[in-house]
Amino acid sequence: MANNLLEINNLTVTYGDFKIITEVSFSMKPGEIVCIAGESGCGKSTLIKAVLGIKHLGAFITEGNIILDGRDITHLSTEERRQILGTQIGYVPQNTRGSFNNIRTYDVQYQETMRSHNRKFVRSDAIDCFDRLNFPESSKLLSYQPWEMSGGMNQRMAIALAVLQGPKLMLCDEATSVLDVTSQKEVIEELAKLRDELGWSILFITHNLGVASHIADKLGVMYAGRMVEYGNIRSVLDDPIHPYTRRLLAAIPGKDRKLPLGLEGRPPLDGAEVEGCNFVPRCQFCEDKCSTKPYSLDEIVPGHFASCAQGRVDL
């Protein structure tokens, strides 16, 4: 599939002697928004960091590869990686308070970022960009300092900076989870708009399936270091196959105002290394074969993959 923008094949990441994620594979087409959802510690952030480069974090990609636009970027040097970051891959972190220097104006920080990517910074371009994104007071924004802004506005400034560099792929790591609900909605809508206008691809990491359902085209669900379900968003949400996805959906407070259904226990720490399904201890449908059948993500319905050994169980 040559027209894939990003391909992640059979990716395994280890930290020390310990596997954090194993055998994750998926691909993104240009203009697609893929959401990866899961609980904290399931390895979803590691996935994004693997694309951005994780050597400096002490973690290594031991198997599999990452292909961006036909080029293998799995083991790039720091210098080569810096050339693609920003220009081809944009990144919006969770905590934008920490990613901007709080006491310098956006103007200076925008200039600095653009310069480090060998781009020219034109102020009017930035203001045009703000206008396009419907920011209030677009002409004054650059002279503000981050501490004068709300968290939501700060996050949008980070997105605007990414837009200015014109990457093909955006990586958003829990980009909205520290925001208030109203700003969260604005940011989500902005990202969706950018995709429509600029043809961006967005890899969106979130623990909030509500957010995912509003912007994603494809949804992947991760559990303890493995992808347990992947497919078109409607297919996964309307007709979840893996028991974990079902429980995850049941745990979200819905419009019907029914008490959400919890899930006892916690994901195994060594989930990526377990033979067989790592959800067995918490699964209500598990059978003997579940803990012996090796992990694999199988296509159950066309375009809809799940790793449950039983294929599809009816509730």
Partner 1 sequence: MSGYAIPANDVNANAPLLEVRNLAKSFGKGKKAKPVLTNLNFTLNEGEVLGIIGESGCGKSVLLNLISCLDPVTKGQLLFKGEDYTGRKPGSVCRWFQVIFQDSEAAFDPKATIRASMRENLKLLSHDVSHADEKIDEMVTLMGLDVKLADRYPRQLSGGQVQRMSIARGLVTEPNMLLCDEITSALDVSAQAMILQYLYELRMKRGLTMVFVSHDLALCSTFCDRIAIMQEGEIVEIGTPGQIMDNPQHEYTKLLLDAVLYVK
Partner 2 sequence: MEMVKQNPAATKIKPMLTRSQRKHQRLKRKTILWAIIVSLILVFSFFATYFTPNDPYETNPLAMRQGPSAEYPFGTDNLGRCVYSRILEGARTSIFATIMLVIISFFVGTVIGVLCGYYGGVVDDIVMRFTDILLSVPQLVLAIAVAGILGGSLMNTLIAIGITSWTSYARLARSHAMRIRQLPFINACRLTGCSDFHIIITHVVPNLIGPMLVNATLEIGTTMLSIAGLSFLGLGVAPPTAEWGSMVSEARSYLQLAPWAVFAPALAILLTVMLFNYFGESVCDLANSQEA
Site residues for partner 2 per CB under 8 A: 1, 7, 9-10, 16-19, 22-23, 25-27, 230, 269-270, 273-275, 294-299, 303, 305
CA distances from 10 to 13, 36, 94 (A): 10, 16, 26
The number of beta carbons lying within 10 Å of the beta carbon of residue 178 is 16
Of 286, 257, 284, 258, the closest CA to residue 274 belongs to: 286
Of 281, 200, 279, 214, the closest CA to residue 241 belongs to: 279
Measured N-to-C along each axis, helices 151-164 and 181-198 cross at an angle, to the nearest 10 degrees, of 10
Of 36, 281, 4, 288, the closest CA to residue 174 belongs to: 36
Of 41, 146, 156, 163, the closest CA to residue 97 belongs to: 146
Q: Which is nearer to partner 1, 199 or 260 (CB)?
A: 260
Smallest distance from the beta carbon of 285 to partner 2, in angstroms? 22
83, containing H or E segment: helix 78-84
Decide: is 214 part of the binding site for partner 1 (CB under 8 A).
yes
Residues 6+ apart with CB under 8 A from 257: none
Decide: is 252 part of the binding site for partner 1 (CB under 8 A).
yes
- Residue 255's SS3 state is coil
Decide: is 278 part of the binding site for partner 1 (CB under 8 A).
no
Decide: is 266 part of the binding site for partner 1 (CB under 8 A).
yes
Q: Which is nearer to partner 1, 84 or 219 (CB)?
A: 219
Binder of residue 314, out of partner 1, partner 2, none (CB less than 5 to 8 A by kind): none
Q: What is the dihedral of CA 178, 253, 209, 233, to 10 degrees?
A: -160
Q: Which of residues 64-123 bind partner 1 (CB under 8 A)?
A: none
Q: How far is the C-alpha of 297 from the C-alpha of 315, rounded, in Å? A: 21
Binder of residue 295, out of partner 2, partner 1, none (CB less than 5 to 8 A by kind): partner 2
Decide: is 29 part of the binding site for partner 1 (CB under 8 A).
no
Tokens of 202: 């967005």
Q: How far is the C-alpha of 149 from the C-alpha of 97, rounded, in Å? A: 10
Among 46, 96, 184, 201, binds partner 1 (CB under 8 A): 184
Q: Which is nearer to partner 1, 137 or 256 (CB)?
A: 256
Binder of residue 147, out of partner 2, partner 1, none (CB less than 5 to 8 A by kind): none
Q: Which is nearer to partner 2, 262 or 294 (CB)?
A: 294
Binder of residue 188, out of partner 2, partner 1, none (CB less than 5 to 8 A by kind): partner 1
Smallest distance from the beta carbon of 116 to partner 1, in angstroms? 32
Q: Which is nearer to partner 1, 22 or 206 (CB)?
A: 206
Handedness of CA 175, 194, 219, 168 (dihedral sign): negative
Among 2, 16, 40, 314, binds partner 1 (CB under 8 A): 40
Smallest distance from the beta carbon of 188 to partner 1, in angstroms? 7
Smallest distance from the beta carbon of 68 to partner 1, in angstroms? 30
Residues near partner 1 (CB under 8 A) are: 39-40, 151, 180-182, 184-185, 188, 207-211, 213-214, 237, 247-255, 257-264, 266
